Structure 1
């Protein structure tokens, strides 16, 4: 192949997911790197069947783990594809990537935007503005990094990017209980970030919000607009727009569960936690 590829996968107790993830990248001629943060189940035994490039690094947060991997692994490829254990490279995406990597890529092109195909309770969530959702999972080595955010991080790419046609499949949960537990944790992280932003003097480099920019920039622009609305009002408005205006109801009963939990409950939990932090700060000042 003209262009070489490294794949970085983060793991922690992912024995239920990691084999399907690794199987999905077998069609790619790539060096696979596993960055594990202390798995105690069968994750590493499964990984050893696919690669010897396995390192352990303590987990601080997602962005820190991603950037540590990018800066410290003995990467060799021209390109880097970043995956989580619950991601799958679709067959169509593998074919598309092999086609791209088999030819000489424009030297001014430094990244590819790949959409995620969200699978919730074995159903593809296609509506409600949730698909396509693009992330710069793949970029030229030395030209990408992860945003320094506690939640909803995107990869930053220096230079020109291109949108790919095919998807990464994202298996976002194995049960509703896991979904709620994870999103409650992420709501805490997002609330802390939003609260801290109000008093922060130095801001980390983030995706630049642009309505007419690339899909990630447009999504960040809309997210910033959402955050300008009052607490407790914005989750109601967002769910209404997502479920009715953007046709989330077409995803059926399973879709209703997803859009309600991810589009309303999760965002209401963020606002409740922001409100709690505000009250705690006011009490300290009183």
Structure 2
């Protein structure tokens, strides 16, 4: 029987972290939390569930998650954020893996809760994520703050687990607005570091396409007013990202 480590990065997650801990305690053999010096009760809540907590200055989303992977005791891992937890069906799916692990990595659907509503459409569901994997076969990659697990080779084997990752996202519109502002700044800087450009056509066309795709093609309108808010902000973060990227180039000129 294989053993599994749950790996989580946190910062001021006292509102959600207990849900995360409860969903893992009877599923995995180790809970490892890498905390960026939270100023709330995050650390003490984790320790109540016998989690091993390592404090580490925030290195960036991708860098912090890869650091956390390296600290895990076991090679087979479940990687979550502090505002995520496992549904009961997904808990059972992961328990079953301990005696029947077949693939290098496993996808799960992520089910997002926005302002108290579970979002069933737009780009938010099914929000497929590879979060259960053999750390020897993959690592976190991407462009901050949009990170994802990438297995090392195209021939790496992938499976799908039943059940959802339950994600408690923004619980107020103002919180959503603040995160959009912060994430668009991080994205713009990451794009700038990679030498990506921001022509006018991208600032105009990309946000329009982002809204049309999520609201019309992926049926975001079926989620009512909150569906509209989500799709509008999907367009907005795209607009802000490229606008701020353009601004960075002007400042450096």
With structure 1 as the length reference, what TM-score do the two structures score? 0.81
Query: How do residues 75-90 of structure 1 correspond to structure 2 at under 5 angstroms?
Result: 75-90=72-87
CA–CA distance in structure 2, aligned partners of residues 166 and 8 of structure 1: 19
- Work out whether residues 136 and 157 of structure 1, in 8 Å CA contact, stay in contact via their aligned partners in 2: no
Indicate yes or no: 2:16 matched with 1:22.
no
TM-superposed CA distance for 1:167, in Å, is 1.2
Q: In the alignment, which of 93, 101, 105 is matched to residue 105 of structure 1?
A: 101
CA–CA distance in structure 1, aligned partners of residues 51 and 207 of structure 2: 45
TM-superposed CA distance for 1:67, in Å, is 1.1
Q: CA RMSD in A?
A: 2.1
CA–CA distance in structure 2, aligned partners of residues 96 and 150 of structure 1: 30
CA–CA distance in structure 2, aligned partners of residues 193 and 52 of structure 1: 32
Structure 1 portions without partners, runs of 5+? 201-226
Partner of 1:211: none
TM-superposed CA distance for 1:199, in Å, is 6.4
Partner of 1:147: 141
- Work out whether residues 33 and 68 of structure 2, in 8 Å CA contact, stay in contact via their aligned partners in 1: no
Partner of 2:65: 66
User: 4+ residue stretches of structure 1 with deviation over 6 A?
Assistant: none
CA–CA distance in structure 2, aligned partners of residues 150 and 241 of structure 1: 23
CA–CA distance in structure 2, aligned partners of residues 130 and 50 of structure 1: 30
Partner of 2:219: 247
Partner of 2:188: 191
TM-superposed CA distance for 1:245, in Å, is 2.6
- Work out whether residues 128 and 243 of structure 1, in 8 Å CA contact, stay in contact via their aligned partners in 2: yes
Structure 2 portions without partners, runs of 5+? none
CA–CA distance in structure 1, aligned partners of residues 100 and 191 of structure 2: 43
Count of residue correspondences: 249
Partner of 2:163: 166
Partner of 1:156: 150
Deviates most, 33-42 or 252-261: 252-261
TM-superposed CA distance for 1:141, in Å, is 3.3
Partner of 1:178: 175
Partner of 2:243: 272
- Work out whether residues 3 and 78 of structure 1, in 8 Å CA contact, stay in contact via their aligned partners in 2: no
Partner of 2:55: 56
With structure 2 as the length reference, what TM-score do the two structures score? 0.91
Tell me, what secondary structure is at the counterpart of 1:280? helix
CA–CA distance in structure 2, aligned partners of residues 124 and 176 of structure 1: 15
Q: What are the superposed Cα offsets for residues 16-71 of structure 1, whole Å, 9 maximum, x if unpaired?
A: 11111111212314210111111121111111110151111111211111111122
- Work out whether residues 207 and 235 of structure 2, in 8 Å CA contact, stay in contact via their aligned partners in 1: yes
Partner of 1:94: 91
Higher strand share: 2
Tell me, what secondary structure is at the counterpart of 1:187? helix
| Distance change >3 Å, CA 52–CA 105, structure 1 → 2 | closer
- Work out whether residues 232 and 271 of structure 1, in 8 Å CA contact, stay in contact via their aligned partners in 2: no
Partner of 1:120: 114
TM-superposed CA distance for 1:78, in Å, is 4.0
Partner of 1:38: 37
TM-superposed CA distance for 1:84, in Å, is 0.8
